[in-house]
Structure 1
Amino acid sequence: MTESAIAVLDIDGTLIDSNYQHALAWYRALRSVGEIYPVWRLHRLIGMGGDQLVAALGGEDLERRVGDEVRERQGKEVDALLEEMSPLPGARDLLVAIKERGHRLVLASSAKERHVDVFLDKLDARDIVDDWTTSDDVEESKPAPDLLQVALKKVGAPPDASSVMVGDAVWDVKAAQKIGMPSIVVRSGGFGDDELRKAGAKAIYDTPADLLNSLDDTPLA
């Protein structure tokens, strides 16, 4: 990838430190309808889209009984926690550096539009990135690859375009793998290096700042 590439970066958890708040929001939403699941189990699913998380947690029975209601309640719980979510070290500088190297840049998120708007403001990124996605853009979220495919389409990428995914969870890596997109991961998702490498991650860094410092060693040089 020595020529211009398309960088597809996850926002929620990768650029914004939000994973543990999301786990707590899911816990509170589920508890409000009488469903108690350990927070560690919820954390293991963060990064997976809300359309898939409930069934992954408790099966199709849980999804059928409370799925839609829990997703709505979880969104409201997140609303109350947005103020606590901050950009991870080096997040905005990483975006600037990728653009300065001549790459196209898309922020890919399956979060609700109102949450993505807040994250874009926290990153002051609207004038840096070429485009972004929200949950409204896809019918099926990660680990399905739909979100990444939409992100590429938003910048008019041809099928053979050079691209790379930057995420924080095994779900990001698995989505990228399904369309042959290499992935770089930061550890803010809380997954073990062994899990991330098994899923297919090409490189792993602590924070966006660490990735920025090693950018010349990646496909985004």
Structure 2
Amino acid sequence: MADTAIFDVDGTLVDSNYQHALAWFRAFRRYGITRPLWRIHRGIGMGGDTFVPEIGGREVEEAHGDELRDAWVEEFDQLINEVQPFEGAHELLRDVKDRGFRLVLASSGKSQHVDHFLDLIDGKGLADAWTTSDDAEHSKPEPDLVQSALAKVEGSTAVMVGDSVYDAIAAGKLDVATLALRTGGFSTEELTAAGAVGVYDSLVELRHHLDETGLGRPT
């Protein structure tokens, strides 16, 4: 049982992963680097500090890392208005909050992007706290962001809700259980292997099964 619910934002509450992938594709292309979009998509969920060397390689990180991350912000800013909330996002958050959990919306995104997404789901009026890239020294799959989310509400134990294997890996390093959504494009088998204790096709499906999860009632 847990007293805190931690929700990833990008790809979990808002449908942003493909915009992120396209922004990274265009950022790499600025430097004459082409990576297949499917490969870029597989890395979405990592923070930019991990993403560039993972997708581009160590030499690309050393030569262009910071410039690529800046270019990604510029490219994503042009796509952000295409991002929409997933069906049932606000309703699920409200149900979890009404059950008595401390609610944290955990993102490693830039603060201006997080603000935009929280407005899309009307999340600021529900959440006890939220995070941005400023709250973690190392991004997922490192556990810094999950740890920061717990600390912000002085939670003792938590359940994480995310859409990627990187969410499950990060949470698992702190013995935090993860409920995973397939909205990130990962298979049920991949998410389970990464440590997810439950996998759902949508937020609506998860909401219908809350009583069967660690988000049934808080401790």
Shorter-chain TM range is over 0.9
Q: Can you list the C-alpha shifts for 1:163-196, whole angstroms capped at 9, x where unaligned? A: 1000000000000111100000011100011111
Alignment-derived partner of residue 21 in structure 1: 19
Q: CA deviation at 1:139?
A: 1.3
1:99 equivalent in alignment to 2:97: yes
Q: CA deviation at 1:207?
A: 1.0
Return 5+ residue gaps in structure 2 as ranges. Answer: none
Amino acid at match of 1:128: L
Alignment-derived partner of residue 206 in structure 2: 211
Q: CA deviation at 1:122?
A: 0.4
Structure 2 CA distance, aligned partners of 1:202 and 1:115? 29
Alignment-derived partner of residue 171 in structure 2: 176
Runs of 4+ in structure 1 over 6 Å off: none
Structure 2 CA distance, aligned partners of 1:103 and 1:162? 11
Structure 2 CA distance, aligned partners of 1:73 and 1:36? 14
2:121 to 101, 115, 123: 123
1:109 equivalent in alignment to 2:107: yes
Alignment-derived partner of residue 75 in structure 1: 73
Where does 1:147-158 land on structure 2 (aligned, <5 Å)? 147-157=145-155
Where does 1:4-83 land on structure 2 (aligned, <5 Å)? 5-83=3-81
Structure 2 CA distance, aligned partners of 1:194 and 1:213? 22
Structure 1 CA distance, aligned partners of 2:147 and 2:73? 25
Q: What is the TM-score when the length of structure 2 is the normalising length?
A: 0.97
Percent identity over the alignment is 52
Structure 2 CA distance, aligned partners of 1:51 and 1:80? 21
Q: What is the TM-score when the length of structure 1 is the normalising length?
A: 0.96
Secondary structure in structure 2 of the residue aligned to 1:65: helix
Structure 1 CA distance, aligned partners of 2:30 and 2:58? 19
1:139 equivalent in alignment to 2:137: yes
2:196 to 197, 201, 207: 201
Return 5+ residue gaps in structure 1 as ranges. Answer: none
Structure 1 CA distance, aligned partners of 2:209 and 2:77? 34
Q: CA deviation at 1:212?
A: 0.6
Amino acid at match of 1:58: G
Structure 1 CA distance, aligned partners of 2:40 and 2:33? 12
Structure 1 CA distance, aligned partners of 2:152 and 2:146? 10
Amino acid at match of 2:15: D
Structure 2 CA distance, aligned partners of 1:205 and 1:173? 14
CA RMSD, 1 decimal: 0.8
Structure 2 CA distance, aligned partners of 1:97 and 1:105? 11
Q: CA deviation at 1:162?
A: 2.4
